[in-house]
Amino acid sequence: MKTTKIGIIICDRYKNCAGGKCFRALHNREGAFNIYSPDDNVEIAGYTTCGGCPGGNIEYAPEEMKNNGAEVIHFATGFVVGYPPCPYIKHFKDFIEEKYGLKVIIGTHPIPQKYYLTHRALNTWNTKEWKEFIQPTLSDEKTRLSYD
């Protein structure tokens, strides 16, 4: 059985989040976690916030996660569904991939339907870049509703 160790970084505005939706999605291999086979073992090597705008913890947390065996970093779905979505997300992704050589996936659990509807009405994600960012967590309506 293959084991993949991952780190999860959440937006600081959700710093009190206990991770329930992320861990549920990981267990069910939903949202951005659907890239892992149900037959593979996925372990959490770290879970923390970005440190608040403009992401002070982004410079250091991935190193600790990597030292704990992380091969992949997931930015929690809160980075894309918060309002406004994180304006630094591309910078964070590029920095971590360059400095630490870790793959960065944008997203964890599926986007909840209530956020999907709001952002769609506001045209938040209408650029090519944002369409790519939300793709791993878009899911179908039934799944999005189950994460409301």
Please choose, from the candidates 32, 28, 18, 27, the residue with its C-alpha nearest in 3D space to the C-alpha of residue 104. Answer: 32
Per-residue pLDDT of 119-140, as tens digits, reads 999 999 999 999 999 999 999 9
pLDDT in the model for residue 124: 95
For 44, phi and psi rounded to 5 degrees? -85, 120
Q: Can you tell me the mean pLDDT for 87-91?
A: 97
- The residue among 6, 74, 76 whose CA lies nearest residue 40 is 6
Q: Where are the domains of the chain?
A: 3-146
Q: How confident is the model at residue 2 (pLDDT cuts 50, 70, 90)?
A: confident
- H or E segment to which residue 3 belongs: strand 3-10
Structure tokens at 95: 């920095």
- For residue 25, give every residue at least 6 positions away whose Cβ sits within 8 Å of its Cβ, in sequence order, or none: 31, 32, 33, 108, 109, 110, 147
Provide the percentage of residues in the chain whose pLDDT is more than 90. Answer: 99
Q: What is the CATH number of domain 3-146?
A: 3.40.50
The pTM for the full model equals 0.95
